[in-house]
Amino acid sequence: MKIAIASDHGGFSLKQELIPWLKEKGLEVIDCGTDSEDSCDYPDYAKKGCDEVLSGNADFVILCCGTGVGISIAANKVHGIRCGLCPSPEIAALVKQHNNANAIALGGRFTEPALAKEIVEAYMNAEFMGGRHQTRVDKISALED
């Protein structure tokens, strides 16, 4: 599995915690930046991470900003991306099961690394349930047109 990961400065520290953990699990990681705690704009990094998913280079993207809110809003403006803000493992599983999210957002200033790892794990272990959820996801896609 290939995973893209991107953050602004508010999510940088969490991104740096997650990358070696993902690699230790044998996963391929595409680091889309940012590369420091210097102030930057989260929409730029949302776009970089989402593009890796849309091009087929990554199976999904982890997006981190301070709250997770800004970068998830930005990601959800990218055609073809369904990003869920995940404050808990339960919600992380549901954004895959119900929404078939191809991006998850984490709040680096509000999510301890240990919890963030549980969240990512829960998302990766979940499967899209299809059925009535597919109908709803199709209706989300129709909103893009």
By CB under 6 A, is residue 10 in contact with ligand RB5? Answer: yes
Q: Which of residues 70-89 bind ligand RB5 (CB under 6 A)?
A: 70
Among 34, 52, 60, 66, binds ligand RB5 (CB under 6 A): 66
Binding footprint of ligand RB5, residue count (CB under 6 A): 8
By CB under 6 A, is residue 69 in contact with ligand RB5? Answer: yes
Q: Would residue 133 show up in a list of annotated catalytic residues for this protein?
A: no
- Of 91, 81, 79, the closest CA to residue 120 belongs to 91
Residues 65, 79, 86, 133: which is the catalytic one? 65
By CB under 6 A, is residue 8 in contact with ligand RB5? Answer: yes
Residue 117 tokens, joined = 């790892």
Q: How many alpha carbons fall within 13 Å on the CB side of residue 105? A: 26
Residue type, 115: L
Residues 30-59 as x/- pattern, contact with ligand RB5 by CB under 6 A: ------------x-----------------
> What letters, b where the CB count within 10 A reaches 16 and e where it falls short, cover 112-135?
eeeebbebbebbbebeeeeeeeee
Q: Would residue 9 show up in a list of annotated catalytic residues for this protein?
A: no
Residue, CB closest to ligand RB5: 70
Q: Compute φ and ψ for 117, nearest 5 degrees.
A: -65, -40
By CB under 6 A, is residue 65 in contact with ligand RB5? Answer: yes
The answer to whether residues 29 and 22 touch, using CB atoms and an 8 Å cutoff, is yes
The residues binding ligand RB5 (CB under 6 A) are 8, 10, 42, 65-67, 69-70
